[in-house]
Amino acid sequence: MPKDLNNHICDEALFSKAFKDYATDLHDFLYYKFGSHINPQDKVQEAFVKLWQKCKDVKPSKAKSFLFTVANNLTLNDIAHQKVVLKFQETKPKSSTHEDPEFLMQEQEYKLKLQKAISNLTKAQRVAFLMNRIEGKKHREIAEILNISQKAVEKRIYGALKQLRKEIEEI
């Protein structure tokens, strides 16, 4: 590396040379590491803007390292921000309902009674029933997982349904 004649990269000729020397490599680095969806060209431009803003603090010999570090950090910050945005979009804001408060109370009571009825099932019935109704597994899949026959699975599920109907009709 040539000896630094200046302590900083604020000279336009040095800055221009740094841009010509490092811009393509920096773009390729960001593209290969993060892909095209993060707009590597924008990150390259932002990194050079930061370099120009901090030019008095950066020696020409450290310019490349500064650029790559800044561009990498900018990209990582952008990705972290995108994750926060996606997580926020996934959460649905609680909306007000136009349902009758009495209906909402009855619905809550029904859920509690259903949970109690499911907990009253035998372990074998509960496991087969929940695998079928909640996880969406077919009788054949449940039989393979539990290492029992398909008929045994059907018997457990139908027994669970019969028991649930009996307990829920009392509601």
CA 136 to chain centre: 24
For residue range 12-47, list pLDDT tens digits in order: 888 888 899 999 998 888 888 888 788 888 889 999
Give the pLDDT score at 7.
73
The CATH number of domain 101-169 is 1.10.10.10: yes
**What pLDDT digit, counting tens, does each position of 45-89 carry?**
999 999 889 888 888 888 889 999 999 898 888 888 888 888 877
Query: What's the rounded Cα separation, in Å, for the pair 2 and 21?
Result: 14
Residue whose C-alpha is closest to residue 30's, from 45, 19, 20, 44: 44
DSSP E strands in 14-146: the ranges are: none
Where do the structural domains in the chain lie, given as residue ranges?
12-90, 101-169
Q: Residues 6 or more apart from 143 whose CB is under 8 A from it?
A: 149, 150, 152, 153
- Model-wide pTM > 0.75: no
